Amino acid sequence: MADFHRLVKTSELKTDKLTNAAAGNLRSISYMSYDEDFDALVLLAFEPESDLIVHYLDGDVALLYEDDSMQIVGLQVENFQLSFVPMHADLNKTWTLSDALGKEYHNLGEMMVVVERFRPKLAQEIINAAKDIPKEFAALFAA
């Protein structure tokens, strides 16, 4: 990937919301989505209060921050299945349904319960695998 010019330095992004959430023992994400066409996974710790800006930490991993407040609210990983997941064995095992679920489900409700149970684990493994994630974001998913 060619060099890119950041609009702001990573150190200028704010983490107050993340710090307050971690102090309040918030240990979940408000939103997780995978876009198969774009091959990107998005984790949001909070519902954004303004438009989001993508701030790349490297070629595929980016912080998502609010345009108005510059508060970090999420994480985006591009080329998620193509390159990110295969590079990280623990994440690969959790992401692969046959390994993660370990049994056959009979209805969508059962699977939804399992997905909700695995979201924090998946988030933790993504954060552990990604480089340069602010400690305040990682603290939301610490065991």
State pLDDT tens for residues 46-74.
Answer: 888 999 999 999 889 999 999 999 999 99
Identify whether 126 is part of a domain.
yes
Phi-psi region of 25 (alpha: psi -120 to 50; beta: other; left: phi over 0): left
Identify whether 61 is part of a domain.
yes
- The domain in which residue 75 lies consists of 10-139
Segment 14-27 shows an average pLDDT of: 77
For residue 68, the number of C-alpha atoms closer than 13 Å in the C-beta half-sphere is 4
Identify whether 44 is part of a domain.
yes
Contact yes or no for 29/119 (Cβ under 8 A): yes
Identify whether 59 is part of a domain.
yes
Distance CA 13, CA 5 (A): 15
pLDDT tens-digit readout, 103-119:
676 777 877 777 777 77
For the whole model, what pTM was predicted? 0.82
Cβ contacts of residue 59 below 8 Å, gap of 6+? 1, 78
Pairing assessment for the beta strands 52-56 and 40-44 based on DSSP bridges: unpaired
| Domain count across the chain | 1
CA 20 to chain centre: 18
The one-letter amino acid code at 96 reads: T
